[in-house]
Amino acid sequence: MEELKKKWRKIEKKYGILIYTVLAIILLHVFSVTSLTTYLLAILAILLLYYFKQESLLPYILGGAIAALALKTVLGLILATDYPAVSVLTSSMLHDDTTEINHYKWLEENMGYNRSYIDSWPIKNGFDVGDLPIVQGSNEYKVGDVIVYEVPGQNIPIIHRIIKINPDGTYMTKGDHNSGLLPFETSVKKEQIKGRVIFIIPKLGYFKVIFHWIFGGM
């Protein structure tokens, strides 16, 4: 074992920057990072760690990333979705003093739903920036479900509520906090949907929020 460690140190000393840079790029790709800025900043961070003689931290940093990837993969298999946990980056599902107008009144006036029906929906109290919804894949979705879906041209998934199932089988969604529909919400196809939110872990997604604020979208 000691002999292997010595050999690794020699390799690391000679090719360490290249090895860790390539590993970082691979991990960023696996995590579906699309921002060029994020790639460049990750590479810059590795170079700075080497410059300040802290290269011994790199295996732990990358080890943590690999562990997170493994956990995401296992959860994805269990919950049957590519997005088993999604950090909330916006306040579009926040419930506050605007909820009465933007959520209840809007649904009553535009969809004809009454309050008791609306309150019977899952995740009825919404969620806030930094929360971590746990998502489960499904073959069927119903009105009231909070779903995670992709929108072409956007690199951040949408986490909104189904408010109507259209005659053609597509879904209309809306953020509880929003005062109206966004252009892409009137006809969400089933193949865009990654799953429904089954419960919320408060504030556990703040690491991703901070990462997003600093480095841009993932």
What's the token pair of residue 69?
């990837």
Cβ contact 140:202 at 8 Å: no
Tell me the pLDDT of the chain averaged across its residues: 84
In 80-105, alpha helices (H): 99
Give the integer Cα–Cα distance in Å for 121 and 144.
5
Average pLDDT, integer, range 82-104: 95
**Region 44-69 average pLDDT:** 65
Q: Where are the domains of the chain?
A: 2-78, 99-206
CATH architecture of residue range(s) 99-206: Ribbon (2.10)
pLDDT in tens, 10-51: 777 777 767 767 776 666 655 555 555 555 666 677 667 666
- Percent share of the chain, pLDDT over 70: 73
Q: Which two tokens stand for residue 165?
A: 């199932």
Pairwise CA distance, residues 218 & 212, whole Å: 7
What pLDDT does 73 receive? 81
83: Cβ contacts below 8 Å, ≥ 6 apart: 76, 135, 148, 157, 194, 195
Output the six-digit token pair for 45.
């961070």
Please answer whether residues 148 and 157 qualify as being in contact, where contact means their C-beta atoms are separated by less than 8 angstroms. Answer: yes
Task: Write the DSSP symbol of residue 103.
Answer: I
pLDDT of residue 176: 98
Give the model's confidence band at 102: pLDDT under 50 very low, under 70 low, under 90 confident, else very high. Answer: very high
For the stretch 125-178, pLDDT in tens is 999 999 999 999 999 999 999 999 999 988 889 999 999 999 999 999 999 999
Tokens describing residue 75: 């959860």
Residue 184, pLDDT > 90, answer yes
